[in-house]
Structure 1
Amino acid sequence: MQDLFNLNLGIIYILMSGVLMIILGRKYKFTDSELKQLNKKFHHVNIVRYRNRDEQEVLNELENIAKTEPIDILVLNTKVTVGNEIIKYITKLQFAKQHKRLKIITMENLMEKYLFKCYIPEDNADLRFLSHIKAFGKFEYITKRIIDYIGSIVLFLVTFPIIIYARNKIKSESPGTSMFKQLRVGKDNIEFQCIKFRSMRLDAEANGAKFASKDDDRTFHWGNTMRKTRIDELPQIINVMKGEMHLIGPRPERKIWTDQFEQDIPYYNERHLVRPGITGWAQVMYPYGANAEDAKQKLMYDLYYIKHWSLWLELKVIYKTMLVVIGRKGV
């Protein structure tokens, strides 16, 4: 039991009847969007500091809260070793009649069960999460290729009029080639020619590569519409049919960005264990990326997708992508 509490994880407990979540410890610092998501599931979220506080003070706070509501879930989220008195108190709670449903889980479990992303530590002190990330097996790969072929054919037939319209619209608003090829990093860190509809001016990178951002001023009007509705990604059906991409998977990035991300996120290459996709779990769960922190957040979703791949998850991505397209919630 001591080992459990000494994990680099922290404390959160959830009072299901009162729909209250208390977070003790700040090893993993929740983003505003994560707290917003948790608040949708649990009526109220309180953060209780642990580091640099007197153990008795923290214990008193826990005791006071435990007297008001039955505790259902306890999640560890502290980097420092939890004091013996707090450990004894928490373990005794499991035998109290009021807290019979109490379960102790890790931060990894919390992230994956309620936020649908993999926990990534703030530092490199604990890399155990990497041991669970692996490339798709033969069954998963064959299943995905069947989905790729069927999905690509259906997608092409449904969007063919849009493809024709998009090409003509691009040429009328921004004369020049309607499609372009760009080297992107794929499976096993190997680059391939990714095909896209051009959504920016021809001189968009005259001053060098630059992150695309929301309402990017380098896009023309129709280009901005294509980006928001993902129409600019449709030509990648060709990449899928060639086997360079899947219909669903981590979005392919340019090597200039992946090299940069690796400086801040050494394990960023884990996402290249599988083929990239036209759409993906990170794309439908996180708005857009403009820096290394956004890349890390998206990586958490990509790793969750790789780790928990299933036909059901595949269908969820397709459904959420449709909502993005219809609601124009993309970048």
Structure 2
Amino acid sequence: MYRAFGKRLIDVTAAAAGLMVLSPLLLILTLLLWFANGGFPFFRQLRPGLHERVFTLVKFKTMNDRRDASGQLLPDSERLTPVGRFVRKTSLDELPQLWNVLRGDMSLIGPRPLLVEYLPLYNEQQQRRHQVRPGITGWAQVNGRNTISWTQKFAYDVWYVDNLSLGLDLKILLLTIWKTIRREGISSATSVTMEKFEGNG
């Protein structure tokens, strides 16, 4: 019952309320990132969602588009602006995804939506992460986020699919708040973001 109806009802109610309550903060962050990124406060990218249906994910943009002499983007660490670093460390960059939740592209809780280019690289078990809507936060995020391996991350995602419940979602929500306060798991050991998934070898 919760998986079929209750989860979506909670998502819509919480996303709508969140967008209304947080609208002043969203406006302030939009203006700050507009100036920090030279007029581009939002990051938009196609991501696969429920049953691998592709949608446009929206986040606050924490990195600028600076390039080297050959026209290639500089490393992430060099493009992360001071404002972007703060927004990212506090996970405020995820707030625009409330709009994706309201639209039905995402859920508050679920496996994180990854890149479309990863779809052909999943094995049969890993593909099961798309049996539920992707989330703003999820079981993998509260168990290491960007500090765990892809193998661990996908195992957590599939475990969530098999054990989805209201109690588990509430636990993930509370752990997310705690992890955000402590700023845990934001960067991997070698990068300010997560290294690309190269497949299972």
| TM-score normalized with structure 1 length | 0.51
Confirm whether residue 288 of structure 1 aligns to residue 151 of structure 2. Answer: no
Tell me the alpha carbon deviations over residues 139-161 of structure 1, each in whole angstroms, 9 at most, x when there is no partner.
41311111101221332244323
* Separation in 2, partners of 1:325, 1:153: 22
Contact 2:65–2:79 under 8 Å retained in 1: no
| Match among 142, 147, 160 for residue 305 of structure 1 | 160
Give the SS at the match of 2:22.
helix
How far did 1:203 drift? Answer: 4.2
| Match among 237, 256, 272 for residue 130 of structure 2 | 272
* Separation in 2, partners of 1:227, 1:164: 16
* Separation in 1, partners of 2:5, 2:20: 23
Relative distance call for 1:161 and 1:308 in structure 2 (3 A) is same
Give the SS at the match of 2:113.
coil
* Separation in 1, partners of 2:45, 2:96: 12
* Separation in 1, partners of 2:14, 2:85: 25
Number of residue pairs matched? 183
| TM-score normalized with structure 2 length | 0.81
Confirm whether residue 195 of structure 1 aligns to residue 50 of structure 2. Answer: no
Alignment of 1:99-114 (within 5 A): none
Contact 1:230–1:330 under 8 Å retained in 2: no
How far did 1:329 drift? Answer: 2.3
Structure 2 stretches lacking a partner, 5+ long:
187-201
The answer to which of 239-248 and 155-164 deviates more is 155-164
Contact 2:2–2:165 under 8 Å retained in 1: no
Relative distance call for 1:164 and 1:330 in structure 2 (3 A) is farther
Aligned to 1:148: 11
Alignment of 1:148-167 (within 5 A): 148-167=11-30
* Separation in 2, partners of 1:322, 1:166: 20
1:202 corresponds to which letter in structure 2? D
Higher relative contact order at CA 8 Å, sep ≥6: structure 1 or structure 2?
2
Confirm whether residue 218 of structure 1 aligns to residue 76 of structure 2. Answer: no
* Separation in 1, partners of 2:116, 2:10: 27
Structure 1 stretches lacking a partner, 5+ long:
1-137
Confirm whether residue 323 of structure 1 aligns to residue 181 of structure 2. Answer: no
RMSD: 2.4
1:228 corresponds to which letter in structure 2? K
Identity of aligned residues (%): 35
* Separation in 2, partners of 1:242, 1:287: 25
2:37 corresponds to which letter in structure 1? S
Confirm whether residue 242 of structure 1 aligns to residue 103 of structure 2. Answer: yes
